Structure 1
C-alpha cells in the first residue's frame, strides 16, 4: 500500500525525480509479484513434496514389517540411549541382544534398542525390519509426511517472497548510488561559490 501511495504522491510533484518513480514502480511490481507468485510457488512445492513423501510412505510400508523380537540378554556396552524415533515422553531406550524371525523364516540375532525399562531374557517387544529381516527404522506415516509437505510449501513461499524483497532492495541500492553520484556532480558544478550569488565576489 505504501508503494501505491508513493506513486500517487510523486506523480505530479515537481520535485519528483526519475529514480523516485522507478523506486515506487519497483516496490509496487515486487509487491504484486510476491502476492501472486509466492503462493503459487508454495502450492506447487507443497504438492510435489506431498506426492514424493506419500510415495515414500507407501514404499516404506510395503518394504518394512513389524515383528516380535525376544530379549536374549542385555548388552554390556551403551546400556542407555536416547530414542531416535520418539518424542520426549519415551525417555531412554536400552540396548539388548535380541532374536526374531526374518520373513524367509531364518532366525536373526543382533543388538537392538528396546523401550523395556528393565529388560530380562525372554521379554518380547516389537521392532521394524526390512524384507531381509534386518532392523529398519519405523516407516514414515502419512500424517507426518503431510506436515513435512505443508512446511515445504510454506518454506518455498517464504523463499519466493524473500527473493522478491532482495531484488527490490538491490534496485533501491542501485538507485541510491545513482542519486549520490548525481548529487556529487551537482555540488561540483556549483563550485566553491555556492550560496554567494550577488555577493560581489
Structure 2
C-alpha cells in the first residue's frame, strides 16, 4: 500500500526526481510480485513435486510386496543399509538378525535384515518388504510423507522467490541512490568553486 501511495504522491510533485518515480514503481512492482508471483511459485513447485512423489508412491506400492520373516539367529554383521526416510530415526535402535522369508514366487530366502530388538529372538516373526525378486527393500513411502515433502519444497520455493524479489528491489534502489550521489557530486564540483563569492549567484 505504501508503494502504491508513493507512486501516486510523486506523480505531480514539483520536487519529484525521475529516480524517485522509478523507485516508487520498483517498490510497487515488488509488492505485486510478493503478493502474486511468490505464492504462485510455491504452489507450482509444491504441486509438481507432490504429483511426482505420489507417482513414486504408487510405483513403489506395485513393486514392493509385504511378507513375514522368521528370525533364525542374531547376525554377526550389521544388516545392509535398507532404510527409508520414515524409519531413519528408528535405525539406531534396530538389531541385525538372520531371518528366513518367502519370496513372491514362493521360494524360501535367507539373509541378514534389521528388526526391532523385541522381535530379534529366534522364532520371532516380523513384517518386512521385498521386491518382486524376493530381495529385502525399504517399505514404500507413505502418501502423507510424500505430501509433507511436497509442502516443504513449495515453502522453500516461495521463500527463495521472495528473497530474489527483495534482493532485486534492493539492488535497483541501491543503483538509483548511487546515481543520485554521482549527480550531486558533479553538481557540487561545478558550483563549489563559486560558492559564497560575491556576484556568483549564491
TM-score range normalised by the length of the shorter chain: 0.7 to 0.9
The Cα of 1:39 is off from its aligned counterpart by: 2.1
Report the alpha carbon displacement of residue 22 of structure 1 after superposing the two structures with TM. Answer: 0.3
Is the helix fraction higher in 1 or 2? 2
Contact 1:94 1:117 in 2 (8 A): no
- Unpaired runs of at least 5, structure 1: none
Match of 1:62 in 2: 62
In the alignment, structure 1 residue 97 sits paired with structure 2 residue 98? yes
- Partner of 1:7, secondary structure, is helix
| TM norm structure 2 | 0.85
Taking the aligned partners of 1:27 and 1:58, their CA distance within structure 2 comes to 45
Per-residue CA deviations over 1:93-125 (Å, capped at 9, x if unaligned) read 011111211111222222111013362222111
Q: Is the 8 A contact 1:94 1:115 kept in 2?
A: yes
SS state at 1:104 partner: coil
Aligned residue number for residue 52 of structure 1: 52
Which residue pairs with 2:148 in the alignment? 147
State the distance in 1 between where 2:184 and 2:7 align: 23
Report if aligned partners of 1:67, 1:127 keep a CA contact under 8 Å in 2. yes
Aligned length: 197
| Secondary structure of 1:191's aligned partner | helix
Partner SS, residue 131 of structure 1? coil
| Structure 2: gaps of 5 or more residues | none
Q: Which residue of 1 aligns with 2:19?
A: 19
Q: Secondary structure at the match of 2:104?
A: coil
